[in-house]
């Protein structure tokens, strides 16, 4: 039932697809819309732990979580000319409501700089209200014309964390770029994902930004994968949307903005960087199950083995360790070992007759 597929090199894609399926992380390729997948319970838990850590980092640095609309009117999305030029080939458009043609085409959100800029023009009028740091974690849609790949190149991005900040001066915005880079450093360091930070050339910067800083990692097939970006937007959006504020010297000027984002590519990198030929290897902080207990069935001792296994389970659970007792009788211990190694559980506890007789457990 289980294969051993080399993770490195040309077999990486097959390894990745195999782990997605067998570890029950993400069901991809069967939905009738290309580029869309379904998070399965085990994968969704990994996603939740990763996002909760990002939320923690953002909340600790004064960011506030909000939720913006999915639908963006065409005239709003098109206001910043460089921005729409960069995205127009990737936008999904809604043109009907029921049987009626809409007066204005509505885009399925590719990103939210235009929406937040519009509302900042309503909300913010004085330097005394700044800086403000907003973020949301949402679905976005981009019509990727290249070959799609689960989590890495999709048309519905289901794990898009976008942060948007606004400042009185260019210098303040520059400081925010540094803060964002340091947040991402902590994030990727905690995930154990190696990265290279670079300033992207103008042809590869975010559409509408002064410049873009990117985080890249190297995948097992030797290719680089962009896993995070930070943008100094300057006054490009605030001028278009009339986000004018009274400065501390009582003059009026346009505010300065930054934005920065990650997606489920982070989870693809987490899986790929730490995995081996047997499957996942998850850092304990982000593992849905941190410890699995596997009782080894021995004739005439099963009840005692199970009793001790349950006691160990309750003890670990009382210490807030995410633990699972695999007492399925229809599967052999060897099958269970392969199954939990594939799922990347950091620690396995084995309890059999030897452990019962010696009052110990075996760790693997």
Residues 298-345: pLDDT tens digits?
988 999 999 999 999 999 999 999 999 999 999 999 999 999 999 999
Lowest-pLDDT range of 79-93, 108-122, 190-204, 228-242:
79-93
Give the end of a domain, one of 249, 274, 299. 274
**Is there a domain that residue 2 lies in?**
no
Nearest C-alpha neighbor of 26 from the set 47, 4, 1: 47
Q: How many domains does the chain have?
A: 2
* SS3 per residue for the chain: CCCCCCCCHHHHHHHHHHHHHHCCCEEECCCCCCCCEEECHHHHHHHHHHHHHHHHHHHHCCCEECCCCCEEEHHHHCCCHHHHHHHHHHCCEEEEECCEEEEEEEEECCCCHHHHHHHHHHHCCEHHHCCEEEEEEEEEECCCCCCCECCCECCEEEEEEEEEEEECCHHHHHHHHHHHHHHHHHHHHHHCCCCEEEECCHHHCCCCCCEEEEEEEECCCCCEEEEEEEEEEECHHHHHCCCEEECCCCCEEECEEEEEEECCHHHHHHHHHHCECCECCCCHHHCCCCEEEEECCCCCCHHHHHHHHHHHHHHHHHCCCCEEECCCCCCCHHHHHHHHHHCCCCEEEEECHHHHHHCCCEEC
Q: pLDDT tens digits, residue range 46-55?
A: 999 999 999 9
Query: Is 342 among the domain residues?
Result: yes
List pLDDT tens digits, range 150-187: 999 999 999 999 999 999 999 999 999 999 999 999 99
pLDDT cut 90: percent of the chain above it: 93
Asked if the structure places residue 284 within a domain, the reply is no
Is 3 inside a domain boundary?
A: no
Residue 55: closest CA among 136, 144, 151, 155: 136
Q: Which comes out higher in pLDDT, residue 88 or 209?
A: 209
pLDDT at 126 over 90: yes
> Where is the domain boundary, 216, 242, 274?
274
Do residues 245 and 306 share a domain? no
| Start-to-end C-alpha separation, the chain | 22
Q: State mean pLDDT over 286-296.
A: 98
| Structural domain contains residue 46 | yes
Structure confidence at residue 83 (pLDDT): 81
Quickly state the pLDDT bin for 144 (edges 50, 70, 90): confident
| Domain match, 246 and 334 both | no
Structural domain that includes position 225 = 9-274
In a domain, 184, yes or no: yes
Cα–Cα distance measured from residue 358 to residue 223, given in angstroms and rounded to the nearest whole number? 50
- Among 250, 259, 210, which residue's Cα sits nearest to residue 125? 250
230 and 311 both lie in a single domain: no
> Can you give the pTM of this predicted structure?
0.94
Phi, psi of 72 (to 5 degrees): -125, 120
User: Which residue, of 217, 251, 274, is where some domain finishes?
Assistant: 274
Model confidence at 1, pLDDT cuts 50, 70, 90, reads low
Residue 335 lies in a domain: yes
Structure confidence at residue 3 as a pLDDT band (50, 70, 90): confident
The per-residue pLDDT for range 262-274, each reduced to its tens digit, is 999 999 999 999 9
Altogether, the residues listed in the chain come to a count of 364
Read off the pLDDT of each residue in 200-223 and give the average, rounded to a whole number: 96
Give the residue-averaged pLDDT of 203-212: 95
Q: Could you tell me the CATH number of the domain that includes residue 342?
A: 3.40.50.800
pLDDT recorded at residue 67:
98
Q: Tell me: the pLDDT tens digits for 31-74?
A: 999 999 999 999 999 999 999 999 999 999 999 999 999 999 99
Q: For 78-89, write each residue's pLDDT tens digit.
A: 998 788 888 888
Residues 262 and 304 both lie in one domain: no
Do residues 223 and 157 share a domain? yes
């Amino acid at each position: 039932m289980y294969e051993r597929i080399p993770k490195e090199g040309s077999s990486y894609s097959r390894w990745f697809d195999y782990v997605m399926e067998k570890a029950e992380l993400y069901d991809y390729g069967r939905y009738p819309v290309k580029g869309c997948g379904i998070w399965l319970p085990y994968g969704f838990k990994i996603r939740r732990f990763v996002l909760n850590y990002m939320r923690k980092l953002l909340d600790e640095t004064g960011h506030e979580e909000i939720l913006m609309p999915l639908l963006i009117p065409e005239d709003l999305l098109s206001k910043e000319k460089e921005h729409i030029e960069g995205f127009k080939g990737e936008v999904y458009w809604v043109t009907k409501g029921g049987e009626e043609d809409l007066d204005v085409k509505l885009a399925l959100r590719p990103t939210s700089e235009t929406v937040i800029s519009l509302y900042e023009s309503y909300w913010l009028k004085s330097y005394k209200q700044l800086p403000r740091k907003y973020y949301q974690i949402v679905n976005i849609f981009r019509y990727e014309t290249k070959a799609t790949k689960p989590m890495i190149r999709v048309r519905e991005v289901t794990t898009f964390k976008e942060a948007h900040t606004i400042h009185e001066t260019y210098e303040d915005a520059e400081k925010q770029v540094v803060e964002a880079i340091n947040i991402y450093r902590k994030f990727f360091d905690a995930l154990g994902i190696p990265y290279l930070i670079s300033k992207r050339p103008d042809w590869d910067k975010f559409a509408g930004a002064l410049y873009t800083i990117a985080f890249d990692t190297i995948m097992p097939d030797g290719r680089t994968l962009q896993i995070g970006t930070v943008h100094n937007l300057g006054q490009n959006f605030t001028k278009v949307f009339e986000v004018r504020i009274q400065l501390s010297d009582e003059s009026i000027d346009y505010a300065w903005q930054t934005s920065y984002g990650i997606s489920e590519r982070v989870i693809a990198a987490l899986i790929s960087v730490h995995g081996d030929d047997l499957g996942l290897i998850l850092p304990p902080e982000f593992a849905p199950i941190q410890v699995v207990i596997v009782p080894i069935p021995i004739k005439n001792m099963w009840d005692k083995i199970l009793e001790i296994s349950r006691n160990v389970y309750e003890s670990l659970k009382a210490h807030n360790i995410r633990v699972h007792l695999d007492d399925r009788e229809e599967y052999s211990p060897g099958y269970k070992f392969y199954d939990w190694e594939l799922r990347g559980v950091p620690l396995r506890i084995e309890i059999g007759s030897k452990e019962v007789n010696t009052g110990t457990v075996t760790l693997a």
